[in-house]
Amino acid sequence: MKNDLVIPEALIDALRSSRHVCVLTGSGISAESGVPTFRDAQTGLWEKYDPHELATPEAFLRDPELIWKWYRWRRDLVAKVEPNAGHRALVELQAQVNEFTLITQNVDGLHQRAGSKDVIEFHGNIFEDRCFVEGCVVEDAKGNSNEVPTCPACGGNLRPGVVWFGEAIPVSALHDATKAASTCDLFFSIGTSSLVWPAAGFAETAREAGARIVEINPNETPLSNTCDFWFNDTAGSVLPELLSRLHGAS
């Protein structure tokens, strides 16, 4: 059952006195923009598609056309939507606090389109083209929209610049995110099921370093019962309210 939205004074105090706020977001923050989440029963992308068919290097080697078809569909979907109140509130929060790190598991670029700076894209970016053979990023890939684009340097197939199952997180993203989680004093987990590692471990990293943990999610996750503040509601309702309280409105 949902609680009425009450922002505890203790959280506002924690935000005001915080040295470093670290925020981890997942697909739930983009849900209110119209981007489906991965695991929600009714609307999750994985309910319609088997991720292992579409999001592994093996699947790409097996059928690159199918994988491109799916990612082009997702690119088109994401390109048509707009950042929502949750994304915008995080831009404001970044401007309000001392030090701020935003780590996102999302590949949709909506945080950046809203205006967030220095976003750590933990699972890559769906609009990037990368050479499957050499790993380099290719700008302005050639080829028509129905075929598999190829690398102008080596001729190998290009792939979307996202992290697939079984692949390593980009080294700098892993380094920067781990550092932020272990040095923050307030950690927010927003719109993520906290099921996919290593991102799912950041709340614990932060807690062990002494940070307080806040979760915003309309559904219970493995984190919900252990965090200091759990908002059983959507990012688009909680974050703007949090900002308005931080600004002093009652």
Site residues for ligand OAD per CB under 6 A:
26-29, 31-32, 37-40, 44, 51, 55, 105, 123, 163, 191-193, 195-196, 216-219, 221, 234-236
Give yes or no for a contact between 20 and 180, defined as CB atoms under 8 angstroms apart: yes
Q: Which is nearer to ligand OAD, 146 or 225 (CB)?
A: 225
Q: In which region does residue 166 sit, left (phi positive, over 0), alpha (psi from -120 to 50) or beta (all else)?
A: left
Amino acid at position 249, single letter: A
3-state SS, 158-225, equals EEEEECCCCCCCCHHHHHHHHHHHHHCCEEEEECCCCCCCCHHHHHHHHHHCCCEEEEECCCCCCCCC
Choice between 105 and 150, CB closer to ligand OAD: 105
How far apart are alpha carbons 242 and 6 in whole angstroms? 9
The H or E element that residue 73 is part of is helix 64-80
Residue 160: partners with Cβ closer than 8 Å, 6 or more residues away:
67, 68, 71, 75, 124, 126, 128, 129, 130
Q: If we measure between CA atoms, which residue out of 104, 113, 115, 80 comes closest to residue 162? A: 104
Identify the bridge partners of residue 25 per DSSP, sorted by sequence position.
104, 190
Identify which of residues 138 and 235 has a Cβ nearer to ligand OAD in the complex.
235
H or E stretch covering 15: helix 9-17
Q: How far is the CB of 31 from ligand OAD (least distance, A)?
A: 4
CA distance to 29, 199, 238, per residue, from 193 (Å): 11, 10, 17
Residue 50 or 147 having the CB closest to ligand OAD: 50
Q: Least distance to ligand OAD from the beta carbon of 164, Å?
A: 6
Give yes or no: 247 in active site: no
CB of 163 to ligand OAD, least distance (A): 5
Least CB distance from residue 199 to ligand OAD, whole Å?
7
Which one of the listed residues 20, 52, 87, 123 is annotated catalytic?
Answer: 123
Nearer to ligand OAD, 40 or 99 (CB): 40
Name the minimum Å distance from CB 191 to ligand OAD. Answer: 3
Which residue number, 122 or 150, has a Cβ lying nearer to ligand OAD? 122
Neighbours of 235 (CB within 10 A): 27
Indicate which residues carry an active-site annotation: 123
